[in-house]
């Protein structure tokens, strides 16, 4: 008899999607998930990984998150619940790519504030993925887009606002 591969347990999936439980915050889980990414950014920075490794990590997180989010959302008949914050983690990492490898407080503050702003505002096409795509990828990709917008904004702020140079 051939051994069947078992899918991830819900417990492991939920720990992943909530980024080790940070998404269970009773207030502002997206903000808490974004803040919880800062230690991860620090850990990545001290490893000495280059930008290609960071981009590979982001791609792997994005792809796996789309499938795990879809699995959980279908199983529990929900769409984009606030406690799924792995998308915030991905968005923060994408935004950080634009100032990589900097971990100074000003750059990380810009990454955090601008990502949160774009994640909340959701400029098109983020709104399309957020509202129209019911697959788990819709839950994740809107924050990927917001991360790109925030990253571009971080670069522009650093270029044109003397306080942040």
Per-residue pLDDT tens for 15-35?
A: 999 999 999 999 999 999 999
Residue 13 lies inside a defined structural domain of this protein = no
Q: pLDDT tens, 38-97?
A: 999 999 999 988 999 999 999 999 999 999 999 999 988 888 888 999 999 999 999 999
Query: Which domain covers residue 116, as residue numbers?
Result: 38-164
Which of 113, 115, 102 minimizes the C-alpha distance to 147? Answer: 115
Residue 127 within a domain: yes
Q: Does residue 9 belong to any structural domain of this protein?
A: no
Positive or negative, the Cα torsion across 7, 9, 12, 13? positive
Read off the pTM.
0.90
Tally the domains of the chain.
1
- Is 145 part of a structural domain of the chain? yes
| Residue 17, pLDDT score | 94
Q: How far apart are CA 77 and CA 50, in angstroms?
A: 39
Q: Kindly state whether residue 7 falls inside one of the protein's structural domains.
A: no
- Could you tell me if residue 28 is inside a domain? no
Overall average pLDDT of the 129-154 stretch: 88
Q: Which among 136, 5, 116, 158 has a CA at the least distance from the CA of 71?
A: 136
Distance separating alpha carbons of residues 86 and 15, to the nearest angstrom: 10
- Note whether residue 116 is domain-resident: yes
Residue 141 domain-assigned?
yes
């Amino acid at each position: 008899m051939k051994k069947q591969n078992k899918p991830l347990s819900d417990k492991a999936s939920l720990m992943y999607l909530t980024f080790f439980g940070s998404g269970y915050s009773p207030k502002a889980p997206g903000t808490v998930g974004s803040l919880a990414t800062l230690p991860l950014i620090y850990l990545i920075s001290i490893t000495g990984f280059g930008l290609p490794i960071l981009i590979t990590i982001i791609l792997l997180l994005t792809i796996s998150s789309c499938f795990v989010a879809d699995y959980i959302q279908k199983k529990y008949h929900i769409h984009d619940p606030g406690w799924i914050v792995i998308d915030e983690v991905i968005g923060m990492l994408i935004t950080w790519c634009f100032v990589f490898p900097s971990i100074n407080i000003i750059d990380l503050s810009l990454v955090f504030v601008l990502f949160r702003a774009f994640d909340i505002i959701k400029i098109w096409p983020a709104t399309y993925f957020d509202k129209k795509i019911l697959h788990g990828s819709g839950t994740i990709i809107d924050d990927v887009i917001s991360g790109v917008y925030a990253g571009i904004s971080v670069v522009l702020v650093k270029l044109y606002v003397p306080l942040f140079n």
